[in-house]
Amino acid sequence: MLAAFLSRVGLWWLAATAAALAQPTNVFLAGEFNDWNPTNAAWRLTAETNGLFLTEQFFPQGRYQFKFTVDGDWRGEGARGSLVSGGANLTLAIPRHGVYLIALDPQENRWRMRPGRVTKPHAVVIVREPPSAGLPVVLDGSESVARPGQKILGYEFGQDTNDAVAVTLPAAPDGVCQVVLPREGAYRFWLRVNDGMPSEPVWVTVKARRSYQVVGDWTAADPANPATFMEPAGPGVYEKWLRSEAPAERQLLLIRNHDPADLVKFLSVSITQTNVQHWRVRYDEADGEFTCRAETLTEFVFDPADYVVLEDRGVAIESVHLAGSFNHWSATALPMERQPDGRFVARLKLDEGVHYYKFVVNGEIWLQDLRADSALTVDDGHQGRNSGLYVGQQGRDFGKPQPDAIELRAVRHRLNRVSAELAEVTVRTLQDDVPRVELRITNSAPVALRKDHTAFGFDFWRGEVFTGSNTLTYTVALTDGAATEWIGPVTADGAIAFPTPDWAKHVVWYQIFPERFANGTSENDPPRTLPWKWDWYQFAAGERPNETRTFSGDWYNRWFGGDLQGVIRRLPYLKELGVTALYFCPLFEAGAYHGYDTTDYRHIAQTFGYREPVPAETLDPATWQWTKSDRLFLDFLQQAHAQGLKVVVDAVFNHMGRSSFALQDVLTNGHHSIY
């Protein structure tokens, strides 16, 4: 017994000794908060008896990139949140100014953070304005942290005596100090606060950048006015955008560092057009070129002052994005730039026509443009409105039409080849200017174009012509009373922009919403399936009234049992109607009756086929199995093809439903998810 006990004690002692020998001796934090210094004694972690290494540090609010150094080995983020040698930078997210305890377990390669205790005051300095030579910059210490139960009683700002230029630091009883940085370069300031106990000084380096301003009657006379500021657009390159709406002569003065006496360049600009134009003013230090050129861009402006509702809700605007029909309504693809005056601006090159859009604030609040043309707004499908914008010329730009005269400046024409034999020609004229438009083709009778529609002050005429080659030479004849104008001859390339499959040109389409087309069997019906001829206005069991109490508020949860068995049974009926092609709404596994919230693209929904156990599958296609519902769809295809029917399925591969396995993995594992 004693021998066995001593043996166990000996094994324990050996294991403990090995663990102690494996413990590191020097563990540090290195990151953006200490210039990535891996041996700064102030950031060394203390070894505890439980094997953890701890440090308690004060951090201002923000996000910091960092790593641990363990006996000289840099450890960063690896798979599933573990720490690995040479891993990616870690992120330290500090929700508010304060003291935080950071712990590292070097054996488990895990770390964690929690709030710590504030035992002394801590100064916090925030630079509120982009530092620019010649302009005031705000050093804000009002968010400094006092001890619990205390408050900051005094603020003392100072400057490094080694700075090349000394600045005047006014008293700051409220903790806010405004200083002017007279020249370009770096300035070092410190702040010490007192809550009955003095804090350690906190240093901040402010780099005053060189800046340029465009002064004149197009912007403002004072170079300190934000309307004059140019923005960096590359190394030594500065730009500013201006807008014109009428002919004018403009004088531009280029000023450096907000100093009216420092005149760099002078430029005169002639504006000749009556429509809105956007101008890019550009200065390149390398070659000294100062230019102002008109650009075919559309400007979008979000002004927070227009949206009182955000202020009423206490919403702090951190970001604004532009989402619209021109970028697939992406809420993240197009960030708008914050301007010195607080507005957000984006400029795009857009095709002529109507475009719809919204502003997305902080990634989640979708807002209509309150300054947009109200006549162009449309329903967004979510009880709101999308703003509309028309890009291009408008009829009013050319004045009123005159009798026996044709406004050729408003005329445009183009050819679109529909197929190898057929081409479509479109001609635009000023509204009510031309009563007759013809197309003249060599060795062919004139083709009278029909007025297709009128929009934005223009009439649009269209006509189709048969061609025997890839190119078409034509002349457009415009007639208004005694006046006739000829455009051409024009030879146009006959390339087909969007080729259509030959089989699709002559089919008769029938769209099928499978859950509502036909119920072929009740064996696959979802729970609480309603009778096929249910009174739509009658409340089903468990349904609640809508807001007006005139209809069910849960109608979108109704199921009626439509399935593929029902479609197969109705194939003769579809054939009898003369249908030659079927277009299906989604058929894959999904959460809702409409199928557009797909949960698994690998299988036909069991509600459209057969209920059976879900096969155990992974992302490896070798594990995928045919279900009875899948085979039923294959059988349906054979029967449809046997009756001469083509079949197209709406698969919506660009998004998945909330309950899909991929989205659930993202919600569970965050940025560690493989999706």
H/E element, 85: strand 83-85
Would 503 be classed as within a structural domain?
no
Residue 495 — pLDDT band, cuts 50, 70, 90? Answer: low
Residue at token pair 């809700």: 313
Q: What is the pLDDT of residues 347-363, one digit of tens each?
A: 898 888 899 999 999 99
Question: The domain containing residue 425 runs over which residues?
Answer: 398-493
**Considering only 12-26, 232-246, 293-307, which range has the smallest mean pLDDT?**
12-26
Cβ proximity of 242 and 213 under 8 Å: no
Give the whole-angstrom CA distance, residue 238 versus residue 213: 9
Q: What CATH code is carried by the domain that includes residue 519?
A: 3.20.20.80
Residue at token pair 């630079």: 127
Based on the domain organization, do 291 and 324 belong to the same domain?
Answer: no
Residue 20 — pLDDT band, cuts 50, 70, 90? Answer: very low
Would 673 be classed as within a structural domain?
no
Based on the domain organization, do 96 and 109 belong to the same domain?
Answer: yes
Residue 649 amino acid letter? V
Q: Give the end of a domain, one of 242, 271, 295.
A: 295
Helix (H, G, I), strand (E, B) or coil at 498: coil
Give the whole-angstrom CA distance, residue 321 versus residue 330: 9
Higher pLDDT, 658 or 98: 98
Residue 9 — pLDDT band, cuts 50, 70, 90? Answer: very low
Would 533 be classed as within a structural domain?
no
Judged against a pLDDT cut of 90, whether residue 665 lies above it is answered with no
Based on the domain organization, do 250 and 130 belong to the same domain?
Answer: no
Would 552 be classed as within a structural domain?
no
Based on the domain organization, do 403 and 482 belong to the same domain?
Answer: yes
Give the whole-angstrom CA distance, residue 313 versus residue 307: 11
Would 545 be classed as within a structural domain?
no
Based on the domain organization, do 145 and 66 belong to the same domain?
Answer: no
Size (the chain), residues: 675
Give the whole-angstrom CA distance, residue 582 versus residue 571: 10
Q: What is the dihedral of CA 158, 161, 166, 169, to 10 degrees?
A: 10
Based on the domain organization, do 137 and 34 belong to the same domain?
Answer: no
Cβ proximity of 357 and 328 under 8 Å: no
Helix (H, G, I), strand (E, B) or coil at 598: strand
Residue 22 — pLDDT band, cuts 50, 70, 90? Answer: low
Judged against a pLDDT cut of 90, whether residue 459 lies above it is answered with yes
Q: How many domains does the chain have?
A: 6
β-bridge partners, 239: 231, 282
3-state secondary structure 340-379: CCCCEEEEECCCCEEEEEEEEECCCEEECCCCCCHHHCEE
Would 1 be classed as within a structural domain?
no
Judged against a pLDDT cut of 80, whether residue 164 lies above it is answered with yes
Q: How many CB atoms lie within 10 A of CB 156?
A: 18
Instruction: Report the pLDDT averaged over residues 562-567.
Output: 96
Based on the domain organization, do 27 and 45 belong to the same domain?
Answer: yes
Specify the pLDDT at position 140. Answer: 96
Would 6 be classed as within a structural domain?
no
Give the whole-angstrom CA distance, residue 240 versus residue 279: 8
Judged against a pLDDT cut of 90, whether residue 465 lies above it is answered with no
Based on the domain organization, do 62 and 166 belong to the same domain?
Answer: no
Q: What CATH code is carried by the domain that includes residue 172?
A: 2.60.40.10
Q: Give the end of a domain, one of 391, 413, 443.
A: 391
Helix (H, G, I), strand (E, B) or coil at 75: strand
Cβ proximity of 214 and 230 under 8 Å: yes
Would 89 be classed as within a structural domain?
yes
Q: Give the end of a domain, one of 295, 327, 346.
A: 295
Judged against a pLDDT cut of 90, whether residue 539 lies above it is answered with no
Based on the domain organization, do 413 and 384 belong to the same domain?
Answer: no
Based on the domain organization, do 231 and 102 belong to the same domain?
Answer: no
Give the whole-angstrom CA distance, residue 267 versus residue 280: 13
Based on the domain organization, do 247 and 359 belong to the same domain?
Answer: no
Cβ proximity of 34 and 1 under 8 Å: no
pTM (2 decimals)?
Answer: 0.49
Judged against a pLDDT cut of 50, whether residue 490 lies above it is answered with yes
Based on the domain organization, do 179 and 221 belong to the same domain?
Answer: no
Judged against a pLDDT cut of 50, whether residue 395 lies above it is answered with yes
Judged against a pLDDT cut of 80, whether residue 17 lies above it is answered with no
Extended beta strands in 526-574, E state = none
Q: What is the pLDDT of residues 198-225, one digit of tens each?
A: 999 999 999 999 999 999 999 999 998 9
